[in-house]
Amino acid sequence: MKKIALITGATSGIGEACARRFAEGGYNLILTGRQADKLNMIQAQMEANRVEVKTLVFDVRDAEAAQQAMDSLPEPWKRIDVLINNAGLALGLDKEYEGDPEDWNTMIDTNIKGLLTMTRLVVPGMVERNEGHVINIGSVAGDAAYARGNVYCATKAAVKAITDGLRIDVAETAVRVTNLKPGLVETNFSNVRFHGDNARADKVYQGIKPLTGADIADVAFYAASAPKHVQIAEVLILATHQANGSVIHREEV
């Protein structure tokens, strides 16, 4: 059987791009997300290219649903070679003292707890087999807070700490752990952050050529394809005219 990559949040953006890149690279796929119709569409496209795909419909915030979904996999599909913890989001761009607590809860439960849930469900098998790779999708926002990013930045700082901690915990095994930290990536990220305000979301990418989901997927695949003695621990990926989370040079439009 081919190697298996499990990708959370696979219905759009970086997750969908990772699905396509790993399929091109010869992996079978387990794709998770909340939208069954989108997962089914991606599955049909992948299977047309002779890639085997399993889809699991659940929200990573629901640990019980995640457990049930993973338990439903046929035994051979539980031997996951690469786990890409991609599911995540930003909500709002408010000053911390004016933020929406519901937005905070959603970000914390998805970006941190959801990642931990999937790690807990998948990594024990990797440790037992003494092989596997965990790729967490962090963010440049995890390096330093930017204006009005407060809670989102905190969740991505947590992703860095959790990733580093896992790498320490599996150091005696052959399991590898990678943190990818993208900067500006043009996906539906900003549409979600601004609760569907497309005009406001479009302004985020004005005057600069941002990264694409495919750019991040290429880096993820590179990390997974490195020789077994090579562990790509962390990669910061920025658009050419982005220096960090808050310094961006924009051309006039």
Residues tagged active-site = 152
If 0-12 CB within 10 Å is exposed, 13-18 middle and 19+ buried, where does residue 253 land?
Answer: exposed
Whether 83 contacts 118, CB under 8 Å: yes
- Identity at 150, one-letter amino acid code: N
Q: How far apart are the first and last CA of the chain?
A: 51
Q: CA nearest 18: which of 159, 231, 220? A: 220
Whether 23 contacts 29, CB under 8 Å: yes
Residue 33 bridge partners (DSSP): 57
Q: CA nearest 5: which of 112, 115, 86? A: 86
Contacts 24+ apart (CB under 8 A), 162-169: 162/112, 162/115, 162/116, 162/119, 162/136, 163/134, 163/136, 163/138, 163/234, 166/119, 166/123, 166/134, 167/231, 167/233
Helix (H, G, I), strand (E, B) or coil at 91: coil
